[in-house]
């Protein structure tokens, strides 16, 4: 069964996602990121610029199949069709289609009310289906 974790109170979802992806790739994980087309475009740009000394290799789902297969991070609006199913990061508001195919799902949730409301609905969706959920409050980590 998919392991699901919510990372709440991300002060900047894109910056947090860049750090999360850098850490995941460094550990050898293969990650698929899903969200709206606009969010994925912004994340693509952020991954190129968030660090002057590091680069997180990534591609879009429109890339050649060989590139998608080799890339440790794939940005896609259709995660059910991604080339690997190890870790899925959801930056969108809805439950991602095909999430149950992944070993792990990470839901990144910001501060704004709409994002939090959508996250509560996703939490309920997963809980109602018997998934064990983990909660990581990023605001508490910052205070430590």
**For the chain, what are the domain ranges?**
3-138
pLDDT per position as a tens digit, 103-124: 999 999 999 999 999 999 999 9
Dihedral sign for Cα atoms in the order 141, 4, 92, 51: positive
Fold of the CATH domain 3-138: Rossmann fold (3.40.50)
Is 0.85 topped by the overall pTM?
yes
Positive or negative CA dihedral for 89, 87, 15, 144?
A: positive
Other CB atoms within a 10 A radius of the CB of residue 43 amount to 23
| 56-103: pLDDT as tens digits | 999 999 999 999 999 999 999 999 989 999 999 999 999 999 999 999
CA atoms within 13 Å, Cβ hemisphere of 101: 13
């Amino acid at each position: 069964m998919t392991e699901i974790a919510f990372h709440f109170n991300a002060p900047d979802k894109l910056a947090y996602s860049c750090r999360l992806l850098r850490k995941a790739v460094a550990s050898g994980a293969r990650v698929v990121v899903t969200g709206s087309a606009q969010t994925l475009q912004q994340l693509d740009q952020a991954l190129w610029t968030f660090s002057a000394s590091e680069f997180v290799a990534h591609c879009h789902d429109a890339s050649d199949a060989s590139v998608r297969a080799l890339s440790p991070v794939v940005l896609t609006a259709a995660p059910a069709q991604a080339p690997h199913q190890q870790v899925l990061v959801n930056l969108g508001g809805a439950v991602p289609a095909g999430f149950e195919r992944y070993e792990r799902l990470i839901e990144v949730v910001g501060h704004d009310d709409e994002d939090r409301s959508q996250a509560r609905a996703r939490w309920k969706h997963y809980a109602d289906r018997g998934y064990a959920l983990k909660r990581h409050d990023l605001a508490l980590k910052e205070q430590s």
